[in-house]
């Protein structure tokens, strides 16, 4: 069977195939360019969103750091303020604190006499008349330990007398004072 290229059916078939191929190519080329434009646009949007996300993350990290610093600052302020609030100690607990800190500081307790507690409107005041002996710098350690205790307290009638040590050192002292602890009733 010989193919006659002048046959109108064959020519229509070939022209139809070429037109169909051109239509498919044109459609996919148009569709692909639209998709390519959409991909480029979405990539730019994605890049902008990533940049915004990085900025927000860095801002969040900065905000968290600032908040952490503020929390630490407020915690320290609360601890400082908490030291001055009266606590619920009884007279025996304060007595234990005084003897523990005196012996821990290297001081010897000569006398520790509790005085009559007084009741104020807001708190009870426990007073002790204390006499200690030891080295002068140990007295500073003792007072420092008392200031670290979370209670309101005061020292009054402080008297320091220098004692001459047997080995010739002159920093031995005898001190007497009144220690007052302000306790919530």
Handedness of CA 167, 168, 170, 175 (dihedral sign): positive
Are 76 and 96 contained in the same domain? no
Query: At 169, is the pLDDT very low, low, confident or very high (cuts 50, 70, 90)?
Result: low
Are 78 and 107 contained in the same domain? no
Query: At 184, is the pLDDT very low, low, confident or very high (cuts 50, 70, 90)?
Result: confident
**pLDDT at residue number 104:** 86
Backbone angles phi, psi at 68, to 5 degrees: -60, -40
Are 127 and 100 contained in the same domain? yes
| Residue-level length of the chain | 185
Judged by DSSP in three states, 90 sits in coil
Question: Both tokens of residue 168?
Answer: 């010739």
- Domain range for residue 104? 91-183
Last residue of a domain, one of 62, 83, 104: 83
- What pTM did the predictor assign? 0.48
Are 37 and 120 contained in the same domain? no
Last residue of a domain, one of 51, 83, 115: 83
7-40 pLDDT tens trace: 888 888 888 999 999 888 887 777 777 777 888 8
Last residue of a domain, one of 32, 52, 83: 83
Are 3 and 68 contained in the same domain? yes
Question: Both tokens of residue 183?
Answer: 């306790």
Structural domains counted in the chain: 2
Mean pLDDT of 35-51: 89
Question: Both tokens of residue 6?
Answer: 């002048």
Are 135 and 155 contained in the same domain? yes
**pLDDT at residue number 86:** 52
CATH number at residue 128: 3.30.70.60
């Amino acid at each position: 069977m010989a193919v006659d290229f002048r046959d109108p059916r064959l020519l229509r078939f070939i022209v139809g195939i070429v037109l169909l191929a051109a239509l498919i190519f044109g459609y996919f080329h148009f569709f692909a360019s639209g998709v390519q434009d959409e991909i480029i646009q979405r990539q730019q949007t994605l890049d902008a969103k990533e940049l915004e996300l990085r900025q927000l993350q860095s801002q969040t990290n900065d905000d968290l750091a600032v908040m952490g610093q503020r929390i630490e600052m407020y915690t320290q302020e609360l601890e400082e303020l908490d030291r001055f609030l009266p606590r619920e100690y009884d007279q025996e607990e304060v007595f234990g604190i005084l003897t523990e800190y005196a012996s821990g500081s290297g001081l010897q307790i000569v006398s520790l006499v509790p005085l009559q507690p007084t009741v104020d409107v807001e708190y009870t005041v426990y007073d002790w008349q204390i006499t200690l002996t030891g080295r002068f710098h140990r007295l500073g350690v003792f007072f420092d330990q008392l200031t670290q205790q979370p209670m309101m307290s005061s020292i009054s009638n402080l008297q320091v007398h220098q004692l001459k040590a047997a080995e010739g050192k002159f920093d031995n002292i005898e001190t007497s004072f009144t220690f007052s602890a302000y306790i919530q009733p």
